[in-house]
Amino acid sequence: MDSEEIAREHQLIFDLAKSNKRRIDNLEEEQKELRSLTQAVGQMVVEQKNMRDDLAEMKGDLKQIKEKPGKRWDSMAEKVLNLITAAVVAWMLAQIGL
């Protein structure tokens, strides 16, 4: 092997090393981006779970709010019925002289 062949092989090895370093640097950058993306997805999962919990809580609250007027109506109807029953009983007692 003469010095010219050694110089060419040295240059070839140098070029390969340079190419490999660039490829490794690119892979490291992509790995950082993937790690960042994985962390972001993990945070999104946590936030989505929290949103689901909040939504379930709001759904329960909304159900209670929707039921409240019905409960009021039932309570009022029960009071009116008790009043009518008391009036009828008082009238009957008045008819028999008590």
* Pairwise CA distance, residues 94 & 52, whole Å: 63
Q: Please tell me the predicted confidence (pLDDT) of residue 67.
A: 79
Residues 6 or more apart whose Cβ sits within 8 Å of residue 96: none
* Pairwise CA distance, residues 64 & 76, whole Å: 18
Torsion region of 2: left, alpha or beta (phi above 0 gives left; psi -120 to 50 gives alpha): beta
Q: Please tell me the predicted confidence (pLDDT) of residue 98.
A: 72
Q: Please tell me the predicted confidence (pLDDT) of residue 74.
A: 82
Residue with tokens 């929707």: 66
The predicted model scores a pTM of 0.50
User: What does the pLDDT profile of the chain (98 residues) look like in tens digits?
Assistant: 788 889 899 999 999 999 999 999 999 999 999 999 999 999 999 999 999 999 999 999 888 888 777 778 888 888 989 999 998 999 888 888 77
Q: Please tell me the predicted confidence (pLDDT) of residue 57.
A: 93
